Amino acid sequence: MSIGHNSETTSAEARVWTPILNRYREPSRLRSVVELAITALPLMALWAAAWLLYSFGFWWASLLLALPAAGFLVRLLKIQHDWRHDSFLPNRAVNDWVGRVIGVLTVTPYDFWRRTHAIHHATHGNLDRRGIGDVDTLTVREYMARSRWGRLKYRLYRHPLVMFGIGPAYLFLLQHRLPIGMMRAGWQPWVSTQATNVAIAVIAVALIVLIGVKAFFLVHLPILLLSAVFGVWLFYVQHQFEDTFWKESRGWDLHEAALHGSSHYDLPLWLRWFTANIGIHHVHHLHSRIPYYRLPGVLRDHPELRQVGRLTLLESFGCVRLTLWDESQRRLVSFREAKAAA
């Protein structure tokens, strides 16, 4: 099957994939449990090793272990992502409760994130429904219409030090502690957030009592912050690439946005493992019930999907400069390109 982009038949082409991909949706209970074990157990072992190294005075070695530990924490976060889509275990109630428990470790309240992530899947690429579960993106016209102060604020928000430095710390340490924006979403996001906060506080206090304040923060905080940076970076490149998809509501289509508004982040095999295949994001958006360990099988069986929205690791770094959606060219452009075209 050939796959076009920005054509009149694109929406129909994208819809064809739903029944095709449906056969990949069933999770394996044994595989899921094994995947959880080989992620959570090494994470705990690395955390303990980092603490032991610190306690013997090798603080620099403890910091070095933060990098692989953060990798396993990112993997745990991406596995939690499958729980949100009910694609990890066959039983939805078990999915939800395991997701809530893991949410304490990833400092991500499950039911709050579940709600915002559902909005993301239902609206991404829709210019009229931006603001929840996405990276704030202005069109060139909107940016040019802003005051000097408004443009400066957007430039600061889009600066790499903010987007991938301050931003991840704010998102995971502060924003996830209070479900702002979910005032009308019922009680569940609020209860989930506060219950997660209490559980995090209890575990943190217990560890501080056991190993001390300084040890806790020097061991745990680097792991948490690095994983937050990696997590935000992955989310960014999944939708912020040059030939992504944005349309107003009247021309927007869910399946077209899924196929062409999500990238195929073609990473080396070892990074695919640590990121739980989240880089095969276009397939995930086409059919979010497919367990992450079945996504490579989709590309194997349907090679025509491999080149859709494909980004290599090297190419992905160029996405950082793409900050504005050019409605006339139908692509993301940099501030410099937007200024030159004005």
- The confidence band for 8, taking pLDDT boundaries of 50, 70 and 90, is very low
Model pLDDT, residue 9: 46
Tokens of 304: 């025509």
pLDDT digits (tens, 9 = 90+) for 62-89: 999 999 999 999 999 999 998 888 888 8
- The confidence band for 114, taking pLDDT boundaries of 50, 70 and 90, is confident
Name every residue whose Cβ is closer than 8 Å to that of residue 126 and which is 6 or more positions away in sequence: 246, 247, 248, 249, 252, 257
What is the gyration radius of the CA atoms in the chain, in angstroms? 21
pLDDT over 90, % of the chain: 77
Beta strand pairing status for 331-333 and 264-266? unpaired
Alpha-carbon distance of 106 to 100, in angstroms, equals 10
Q: What is the pTM of this model?
A: 0.92
- The confidence band for 28, taking pLDDT boundaries of 50, 70 and 90, is very high
Model pLDDT, residue 3: 56
Least confident of 124-133, 184-193, 214-223, 312-321: 184-193
Model pLDDT, residue 132: 80
Q: Where are the alpha helices (DSSP H) in the chain?
A: 10-21, 29-55, 59-84, 92-105, 110-123, 140-145, 148-158, 160-161, 167-173, 188-211, 213-239, 254-260, 269-274, 281-286, 295-301, 313-316, 335-341
309: left (phi over 0), alpha (psi -120 to 50) or beta: left
Which of 271-283 are b and which e, b meaning 16 or more Cβ less than 10 Å from the residue's Cβ?
Answer: ebebbbbbbbbbb
Model pLDDT, residue 60: 93
- The confidence band for 2, taking pLDDT boundaries of 50, 70 and 90, is very low
pLDDT digits (tens, 9 = 90+) for 141-178: 999 999 999 999 999 999 999 999 999 999 999 988 88
- Supply the mean pLDDT for the chain: 91
Least confident of 1-10, 133-142, 171-180: 1-10
Average pLDDT over residues 277-287: 96
Written as one string, the DSSP assignment of 27-69 is: PPHHHHHHHHHHHHHHHHHHHHHHHHHHHTT-HHHHHHHHHHH
